[in-house]
Structure 1
């Protein structure tokens, strides 16, 4: 059995080896356990968001870990972790605010819904045979010539002209039923 003896009163404290760690893993675990809830509560009160508070506190502890030998010697290591967590929360808030400002600034103007004429035209086009509908859309909305449509569809140009003629005739009759006048032009 080894007897423990107190050092003489005039003896200087033992020196630590500079290369040896001044703290152990248990030290930071104890520090974390003692401070995580308090810091999270403080940051929750600051941010108003529990998940965000937990995130910034965890990040602050993660940043403290590689510096723990130095931070543990501070008079108040919790103050360092708290400051880092508050800085992270403030940065997060600024990023969110910038994002909201960006959205406000560059938001597209709301597009009004389709008018009654467009609704009637869309409904009438839907009633046409597919070939006639496709020919009308490609010719009038995509500005393709009858030759371009014929090449795309793999048919004779005269077939496209027939589709367009029959499509315009059927469309005029369908729109007349709704009270809308079809103007070819």
Structure 2
């Protein structure tokens, strides 16, 4: 009974944050929700081990991120195979700033994107990001600095394109 209560508490405390994290990485809420559900399923299957982790939330976030990236790669390869038949799809309900942010994030390297999302959208400290990414703090600081610089340029471009169309 204690296991179920601890697991339920973990889920209640962080499922929403993890969905937000994976959504920021993938740009697809449905895929993010599926990846998080899969990660929590795996966490429950390995609960005695996950419970003992330094951060069970980080364990679930890492598994969800990897699951989503794997799914995204498969989807990307399918889309590339059917590129000629693809049509432009717009996402309803998103404002221009949100779309520009997601597009800019997608243009960063995977490590930069992950560091920026963990630090700025999930409010993790640099040390916590380094622990989750299993990278030295200096490397994470470099990812963040380069990611922010790239994002600033990309968002500037998007803003200029937006004003030139008006």
* TM-score normalised to structure 1 length: 0.43
Task: Considering fraction of residues, name the structure with more helix.
Answer: 2
Q: Using CA pairs under 8 Å that are at least 6 residues apart, name the structure with larger relative contact order, 1 or 2.
A: 2
* TM-score normalised to structure 2 length: 0.48
